Every structure is written in C-alpha cells, then in structure tokens.
Amino acid sequence: MNKQAITGMAALATLYQPKIGFGDQKSARMVLGTVPVEQDGSAYFKLPVDKPICFQALDADGVAVQSMRSATYVHPGESLTCLGCHNSPTNGYRMGNTSATALRRAPSVIKPDVDGSKPFSFPILVQPVLDKNCVACHTKSKADGKKCPDLTQGAQANNGDFFTSYNALRDFTFFWDNAGFDNVPDSKPGQIGARNSRLYQMLVKGHHGLKLSKEDMHRLTLWLDCNSDFYGAYEKLAEQKEGKVVWPALE
C-alpha cells in the first residue's frame, strides 16, 4: 500500500470521529415530526427555515416505507414544491387541471414525536423500552446454556462508548455505512429502516410471546428508521450518555 493510500485512510478515520452511531458516514439527525398526507398523496405544511430537511414516507403504523436520500432547505418566505425534481429533466411540467387536496386548506403544522426523537437520543428513546420489556428475560441463560444478547445499559467508562445494549443490537438493526451509502442512488420501498432490520421482523413475527405496547413499538421503529443512531449531537457525549437533553450547537 502506498503512502497516499495510508494517509487517506487515516483522514477518513479522523473524519468519522466522534462516532454517533454504527455507520461511518454520519449526519446527526433529529425528528421534526409528522404531517398528514391526503388521499391523493399530497401534503402541505410549514418547515423551519435554513435547516437541512429529509423526508420519509410512513405507513399507517408510522413505519418508514421509503426515505429521501438528499436534503432540502427552505428560506424565509419561500414556497417549495416537489414538482420539477420528480419530473423528467427533459420535459416540461404543469400543475394539472385540479389542485392537490392539501393545497385547498391551510398548511399543516408539524406534530412533534416522542421524547428522545428531538434531539435524538438512544438513552431516552430506546433504553427505557428495553429495560421495561426485554432486560428481565435477556439476563437469563438459554436452555442450551448460551446467553441472550445483553440489553442492559452497561457501564462503559469512555465518553465515546455506547451502551452494552446498543452494541448488542448492531446485527439486528439497519444503518447506512460508507461503502453502501455512496453506491445506492435512492432507497427502495420497504428496503430501508425498520422494515429492513432483523429486530423489526422478529418483533412483528413474534418473539417468545413478547407483546409491546403501540408506543414502545413505535419508539423502536422510529430509532431503526433514523439510521439506528445513538447520539444526536457531536458534542457533550458524556451528558447525552447520561440521558440528558443536549441540543446540537449548530441547531
């Protein structure tokens, strides 16, 4: 391996620090919330200005079906439409003879989601669900003597460490990694987030008679749909790990 390649790898290793989740190519995120979608597929809502926004299409249970791969922005007083980007670049487009249903009413106000989604936090969003529903059984040994994945918080000393439970769930989650991220131009319906994770499939199928409440299931699927991250900001990792609310410095 030549010196330039070694230098490049070292630069990448530095770029991905501190790690806020499993994947290499990371962007700290939070969930603004949800807005209604009309029967014709239209939506009309207000967005915060000068913030990078990504959209996800959710099903009736609030589980992501498809995720936008790029971010968009709005500026003060600006109106933005999806027409144009979603049309052929070589053909013109027009609004049509009838207006979209959502445009016949006032714009929706985004409805915030559960605690731990804004700002994003695994300790607040997910760990309470594991403590309530999973830890008791997962501390027991299986009939064959093997141990279940440890879903306790654990006691890592390093500020940059994750919970024991978080590390134990890695192979059961969905997240974009650097190599896969660059080679996929768009997301396919049902192939991202919770729907493409072993954890969600296991819970939907039935896991040793476990019956999660609707909110607890939502918390897990929301986490999986948001790239299965742990931290929601690149600073004050120790405070975030303690379950404290930490807003990103540039938010």
pLDDT digit of tens for each residue in the chain (251 aa)? 444 433 333 334 445 678 899 877 567 889 999 999 999 889 999 999 998 898 999 999 999 998 887 888 899 999 888 776 666 666 655 656 677 899 999 999 999 999 999 999 999 999 999 999 998 888 776 656 677 889 999 866 555 689 999 999 999 999 887 555 555 556 778 888 999 999 999 999 988 888 899 999 999 999 999 999 999 999 999 999 999 999 998 76
User: Which two three-digit tokens encode residue 251?
Assistant: 């938010």
Which residues contact residue 141 at a Cβ distance below 8 angstroms, ignoring those fewer than 6 apart?
A: 147, 148
pLDDT at 185: 57
Is residue 3 a part of any domain in this protein?
no
* Sign of the CA dihedral with 198 first, then 201, 207, and 213 last: positive
Is residue 4 a part of any domain in this protein?
no
Is residue 11 a part of any domain in this protein?
no
Is residue 213 a part of any domain in this protein?
yes
| Number of structural domains the chain divides into | 1
Range of the domain at 166: 18-244
Quick check: 234 and 20 in contact, CB under 8 A? yes
Is residue 84 a part of any domain in this protein?
yes
Is residue 7 a part of any domain in this protein?
no
Is residue 9 a part of any domain in this protein?
no
pLDDT at 145: 61
Is residue 77 a part of any domain in this protein?
yes
- The CA distance from 90 to 206, in Å, is 49
